[in-house]
Amino acid sequence: MPILLQVLDLGGTFVFAISGAMVAVRHRLDIFGVLVLAFAAGNAGGITRDLMIGAVPPAAIADLKYAGVSALAGLITFFWYPMTNRLRNDVLWLDAVGLAFFAVAGAQKALAHGIDPVMAALLGMVTGIGGGMLRDVLVSGIPTVLRADLYALAALAGAGVVVSAHLLHLSPMLAAVAGGGVCFALRFMAIRHGWHLPTSRPAPASGAPHHRHHDQDR
């Protein structure tokens, strides 16, 4: 079981480190900046989860494999960027796999630390979206994970399946497969069919929303 957890965690780290490195290359950071952003994107979700559940030092700090996997992903992306970029659509699927890995691993680790089941599902979601959020904040964008089709919801659904299976005393391996499958399937269908959740309608008078928010709360 700890082995399953670590495989999922490291797999998610690798995939998100690639996404972080790709964003860094696009913003013309040098090779070291690429490695830093790869590590940040690959590990911010897991580190946040570990700090929240009191697992200190976080796995990404205590265990060198996380830094190693992140560096590997960063170097691959840096040296073969045109190729990675051409595979961008495949990367989208890969990213959905990483999301599924992290959602499952996050929920299982939180449960193992005695966190309340509902909160464990939310922490699974945080593990899945944390890396992407930091990645986008560092390059000054609104996090795509807050906008992309069913992104955070898919992570929560997968983590929820893991938690439900835990409450039903099913095997962790089965829970991981089912939860990961649900997360991946939801995200896959959202990408393929453009599924998305409703947005609210801001009041008509509010004009250009992006340029006014600095003043809204003053």
Footprint (CB under 8 A) of a second copy, residues 1-20: 19
- Tell me the two tokens of residue 23: 């964003």
- Size of site (CB under 8 A) for a second copy: 83
Selected from 139, 170, 173, 174, the binder of a second copy by CB under 8 A is 139
193 binds a second copy (CB under 8 A): no
Integer CA distances (angstroms), 7 to 12, 66, 68, 104, in order: 9, 11, 14, 11
Contacts of 1 (CB under 8 A, 6+ apart): 172, 173
User: Is-contact 18 91, C-beta < 8 A?
Assistant: yes
CB of 112 to a second copy, least distance (A): 13
The pattern of x and - marking residues 66 through 85 that bind a second copy according to CB under 8 A reads -x---------xxx-xx--x
Site for a second copy in 160-189 (CB under 8 A): none
Choose one: 1-9, 161-169, 180-188, 198-206; the region binding a second copy (CB under 8 A).
198-206
HEC string of 94-159 equals HHHHHHHHHHHHHHHHHHHCCCCHHHHHHHHHHHHHHHHHHHHHHCCCCCHHHCCCCHHHHHHHHH
Contacts of 113 (CB under 8 A, 6+ apart): 53, 54, 55
Selected from 3, 89, 193, 200, the binder of a second copy by CB under 8 A is 200
Selected from 76, 149, 164, 178, the binder of a second copy by CB under 8 A is 149
Selected from 95, 97, 100, 104, the binder of a second copy by CB under 8 A is 95
Nearer to a second copy, 4 or 52 (CB): 52
3-state SS assignment for residue 73: helix
Nearer to a second copy, 4 or 119 (CB): 119
User: Is-contact 141 129, C-beta < 8 A?
Assistant: no
195 binds a second copy (CB under 8 A): no
Integer CA distances (angstroms), 191 to 96, 146, 211, in order: 10, 15, 29
89 binds a second copy (CB under 8 A): no
CB of 82 to a second copy, least distance (A): 4
CB of 7 to a second copy, least distance (A): 21
Selected from 86, 90, 170, 171, the binder of a second copy by CB under 8 A is 86
CB of 173 to a second copy, least distance (A): 26
Q: How far is CA 54 from the centre of its chain?
A: 20
